[in-house]
Structure 1
Amino acid sequence: MEPQLPLFSDPASQHISLKDGELVYCPQFFTLQEADHYMQQLLTTIHWRQEGMKMYGKHVLFPRLMAWYGDAGSSYAFSGKTYTPEAWTPELLEIKDSIIPEAGANFNSVLLNRYRHGKDSMGWHADDEPELGVNPVIASVNLGATRRFMLRHVKEGHRFELELQHGSLLIMKGTLQHYWQHQVPKTTQVSGERINLTFRVIQYTR
């Protein structure tokens, strides 16, 4: 069985030291009322799309809905496509301003992923695109259904996982993206929706 990091009952920041990386987990960063409000607002105000990529000559849809928002010019390229940001919504700005003091980074963009049910997922990857800089700080806000977040060390095979709950904040920083990959796997144990927001700093524009 893979090792699992425990859920924390303390709403304060929990610093998790990993080999070649660092995590900060705030399980109750937003109150239940705040998290419920943001969840409902984002479901209805965000322009959700199902994107995809070419694989073996075919167009394959990602198993989730996505959206990219941020400052003008903060375009982001991944999976063979460049995404131009939509303008910040009031709710996204509120969330961003709330997490900046904890994360210590002046975020200028956010990638939103909407997992409609347990069959929606995100495969193994690292957020190591050139636009993010050498050692990016990435802040992940989680709303809705609790989903398992898994990490694996790309060289040594170490694995860790967290159950990211409604209203939580996870910060990835240091050299983590160089040595670790992460994923949100499919599950038969979750039927509810989840929205994940990963706030980033784009270092240059395209």
Structure 2
Amino acid sequence: MLDHTLLTDVLPSPDTLFSTLLTEVSWQTMLHRGGPVPRLIAVQGALSESTKGAYPIYRHPADSLPPLHPFSATVALIRDVVQERVGGKEGVAVFNHVLIQHYRGGADYISEHSDKTLDILRGSAIVNVSLGAQRTMTLRPKKEFVAAASNEENGEPPAVERIALPHNSLFVLGMRSNMRYQHGIKHDNRPFGQKSVEEQAFGGERISLTFRCIATFLVPRSLPASPPLDVDGGEVGDSEVRFLIYGQGAKSKEVGAAHVVPLPPNKLEEDEERKAVEEEVSAVIRAFGEENFRADSFDWEEWYGAGFDVIHFS
């Protein structure tokens, strides 16, 4: 049984929310493998309620992580609806992080992938809110999952799913589906006039907000440090700020024993220290790759359990 579903008509005044987000969000370009990804990016999040100054960090393949800003007013409103619809009763994990993406037209896309769960609270769901032009998400079963299903008695291989994500919709992706499928949004280079009314809406622009429950945190060694938190640049004002990392995806699971985040290899002068950091970067990238292509055989404890402290992958 798979655990993904689509809900529609979830937000009040969705047209206003879309237009407000266009100007309210601090859009940035994110680099991956030396080039810009084909969409604009922003990251927002909430301070930890238990540790002063701690911010959630979600690590995924990218040359650098965009700075994390506090939830803006409009994003906070949307987050509250998501929390009510998906988070459920009090005590259930809180959606404390959102990756916001602006698809400026049909040429913008995201390649098929599985979300990397190193820092995502185990057992929680991933929620994507769509505003603007309708785009189609592809859910493609991984080869390992197809082979396993085909080998079962009377088993039929799972099919590729193509799910339209209309304006004002909410897509819930559970961990089982994330493990067995890759998801993505292909570029759509059809002439604008050949697209449906829903696809032409808002001039073809779409904003997606992917909410996650993050269980790994950064805290500046020198407080106070005010948002935005630029974990890649490592500077706030004129003084260099180093960060501590702790939680599910880090080597230290508790804040009291948090480790200092290693500097990028190109900023380390000692050969031995640089080599150790490079090896850790290689290990986390390999683990990301294993999760991207394995299905039920992916062993979270084997690949992620010991944790990683690096946050710079380029």
In the superposition, the TM-score normalised over structure 2's length comes to 0.55
Q: Which has the higher contact order (CA 8 A, sep 6+)?
A: 1
Residue 66, structure 1, aligned to residue 54, structure 2: no
AA of the residue aligned to 2:56 = S
Match of residue 103 from structure 1: 86
Unpaired runs of 5+ residues, structure 2, are 48-54, 88-92, 147-157, 218-244, 246-314
For the 8 Å contact 2:7–2:169, the answer to whether it is kept is yes
1:184-199 superposed matches below 5 A:
184-187=185-188, 188=190, 189=195, 190=199, 192-199=204-211
For the 8 Å contact 1:124–1:182, the answer to whether it is kept is yes
Which structure dedicates a bigger proportion of its chain to strand? Answer: 1
Instruction: Map Cα deviations across residues 113-153 of structure 1 (whole Å, 9 max, x no partner).
Output: 10000000000111123001333311111000000011011
1:3-152 superposed matches below 5 A:
19=1, 21-31=2-12, 34-54=13-33, 59-72=34-47, 73-80=55-62, 81-104=64-87, 105-152=93-140
3-state SS of the aligned residue for 1:78?
A: coil
3-state SS of the aligned residue for 1:169?
A: strand
1:155-174 superposed matches below 5 A:
155=144, 156=146, 158-174=159-175
Question: 2: distance between equivalents of 1:83 and 1:25?
Answer: 28
3-state SS of the aligned residue for 2:178?
A: helix
Question: 2: distance between equivalents of 1:136 and 1:149?
Answer: 21
Structure 2 CA distance for partners of 1:76 and 1:83, relative to 1, 3 Å: farther
Q: CA deviation at 1:67?
A: 0.4
For the 8 Å contact 1:113–1:196, the answer to whether it is kept is yes
- Structure with higher Rg: it is 2
Instruction: Map Cα deviations across residues 147-196 of structure 1 (whole Å, 9 max, x no partner).
Output: 00110111216311111011111111141211111001111245510000
Q: CA deviation at 1:38?
A: 0.8
3-state SS of the aligned residue for 1:175?
A: helix
Match of residue 9 from structure 1: none
AA of the residue aligned to 1:201 = C
In the superposition, the TM-score normalised over structure 1's length comes to 0.82
For the 8 Å contact 2:30–2:65, the answer to whether it is kept is no
AA of the residue aligned to 1:109 = H
For the 8 Å contact 1:77–1:83, the answer to whether it is kept is no
3-state SS of the aligned residue for 2:70?
A: coil
Unpaired runs of 5+ residues, structure 1, are 1-18
Identity among equivalent positions (%) equals: 27
3-state SS of the aligned residue for 2:22?
A: helix
Q: CA deviation at 1:101?
A: 1.9
Structure 2 CA distance for partners of 1:83 and 1:74, relative to 1, 3 Å: farther
Which structure dedicates a bigger proportion of its chain to helix? Answer: 2
Q: CA deviation at 1:84?
A: 4.1
Question: 1: distance between equivalents of 2:11 and 2:85?
Answer: 12
AA of the residue aligned to 1:160 = E
3-state SS of the aligned residue for 1:136?
A: coil
